[in-house]
Amino acid sequence: MTIEQLIVYGKSKVNSQHAKMLLADLLHKNSLELLNILSEEVDPAITDEYYRKINLLAEKKPIQYVIGNVNFCGYPFLVNEKVLIPRFETEELVEKTRDRIRLFFPSAKTLIDLGCGSGAIGITLKKMFPSMEVTLLDISKDALQVAIENAKLNNVTIQPLISDMWSDVTTKFDIIISNPPYIKTTEEIDSLVKENEPHLALYAGPDGLDCYRKIIANLKEHLNDRYLVAFEIGYTQAEVVSNLLKEQLPDAVITVEQDLQERDRMVFAMKVD
């Protein structure tokens, strides 16, 4: 089979973009490069793998899980069904956090990513600030295993920790960042998400706030004197999460930031003096 024949076959079964992305990934090329070599023959083992994965896509498996990796802020991350697929909004959380670290915490030494999943947030920040000690924490052993693999893939050293939020954490940090589960248990969400991604990483009780309450209740004892707290939030949760933070951290400056779709998506709490 040639590349062109495989693409035509793929397009008959699934979204044509996905068919091209899948074949490109199997051939270690990008989708555009494929267009220059359409008449090349594909190795039979790769052809079989392509058919198998086209079937998974046809069964409505997310392309990221089928391919098994994603690009997040320019870095590669392995993903499987044990971890949430990193979202564009979370890249914005990382970028806005990076800007604050550069401006206000250039010599920050310690950061913890609470509920790290694939490790995308913490590992990307470690790439950006190599001298920071980064702890990746998750309640799921399987998720943490993916995060450990991703740290290796990106050539960084991180401290992995299995814990139900603060239950097994004894130290303080300069920076605490989290994209915890924040969906209401009763909320209707996209079926592609609901049927494939880990519910442990999505849902957080009747109002979607369980994880923020858990994190914020013990926040003070895990923060150094100068600190930055960065949360991704659901777009209706800015006010209530800000208020929860204000109660526990009365000295902090609290700001809400919007994502590219102009929805409230991040809350920061910062103390710089």
Helix (H) or strand (E) holding 161: strand 159-162
Closest CB 48 distance from ligand GLN, rounded Å: 33
With CB under 6 A as the contact rule, the residue among 179, 237, 266, 270 that binds ligand GLN is 179
- 140 touches ligand GLN (CB under 6 A): no
- 87 touches ligand GLN (CB under 6 A): yes
- Which range touches ligand GLN (CB under 6 A), out of 11-19, 129-137, 147-155, 178-186? 178-186
How would you write the chain as a 3-class SS string?
CEHHHHHHHHHHHCCHHHHHHHHHHHCCCCHHHHHCCCCCECCHHHHHHHHHHHHHHHCCCCHHHHHCEEEECCEEEECCCCCCCCCHHHHHHHHHHHHHHHHHCCCCCEEEEECCCCCHHHHHHHHHCCCCEEEEEECCHHHHHHHHHHHHHCCCCCEEEECCHHHHCCCCEEEEEECCCCECCCCCCCHHHHHHCCHHHCECCCCCCHHHHHHHHCCHHHEEEEEEEEEECCCCCHHHHHHHHHHHCCCCEEEEEECCCCCEEEEEEEECC
Q: What is the distance between the terminal CA atoms of the chain, rounded to a whole angstrom?
A: 65
Closest CB 233 distance from ligand GLN, rounded Å: 9
Nearest by Cα to 231 from 266, 269, 261, 255? 266
- 177 touches ligand GLN (CB under 6 A): no
- 200 touches ligand GLN (CB under 6 A): no
| Nearer Cβ to ligand GLN (105/212) | 212
User: How many chain residues touch ligand GLN (CB under 6 A)?
Assistant: 9
Q: Residue 194: helix, strand or coil by DSSP?
A: helix
Closest CB 120 distance from ligand GLN, rounded Å: 11
Rg (C-alpha) for the chain, rounded Å, is: 20
- Which range touches ligand GLN (CB under 6 A), out of 100-108, 173-181, 218-226, 252-260? 173-181
- 193 touches ligand GLN (CB under 6 A): yes
CA dihedral (190, 195, 200, 204) in degrees, to 10, reads 30
Closest CB 192 distance from ligand GLN, rounded Å: 10
- Which range touches ligand GLN (CB under 6 A), out of 53-61, 96-104, 175-183, 212-220? 175-183
| Nearer Cβ to ligand GLN (42/216) | 216
- Which range touches ligand GLN (CB under 6 A), out of 17-25, 133-141, 177-185, 248-256? 177-185
- Which range touches ligand GLN (CB under 6 A), out of 16-24, 160-168, 180-188, 216-224? 180-188
- 183 touches ligand GLN (CB under 6 A): yes
| Nearer Cβ to ligand GLN (161/193) | 193
Closest CB 38 distance from ligand GLN, rounded Å: 36
- 77 touches ligand GLN (CB under 6 A): no
Which stretches of the chain bind ligand GLN, using CB under 6 A? 84, 87, 179-183, 193, 202
